[in-house]
């Protein structure tokens, strides 16, 4: 299973096995997703870390 390195709105970096890419019709809803950050234990906006590649 692939994992993606992401950064939450508080700046914490972590990897997640799922990073859902939601779409409405043919348009994407932007790069961020709501994920539960394991460091601050809250739902936060998270974006993929550029240059980190896949784990």
pLDDT in tens, 7-33: 999 999 999 886 665 555 555 566 778
Q: How far apart are CA 3 and CA 40, in angstroms?
A: 20
This prediction has a pTM of: 0.66
More confident call, 20 vs 44: 44
pLDDT of 53 higher than 90? no
Give Cα 5 distance to the centre of its chain.
Answer: 7
Question: Between the CA of residue 53 and those of 1, 2, 12, 42, what are the distances in Å?
Answer: 14, 11, 17, 25
Q: Give residue 52's pLDDT band: very low, low, confident or very high (50, 70, 90).
A: low
């Amino acid at each position: 299973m692939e994992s993606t390195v992401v950064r939450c709105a508080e700046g914490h970096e972590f990897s997640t096995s799922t990073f859902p890419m939601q779409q409405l019709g043919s348009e994407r809803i932007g790069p961020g997703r709501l994920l539960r950050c394991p460091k601050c234990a809250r739902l936060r906006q998270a974006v993929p870390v550029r240059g980190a590649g896949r784990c």
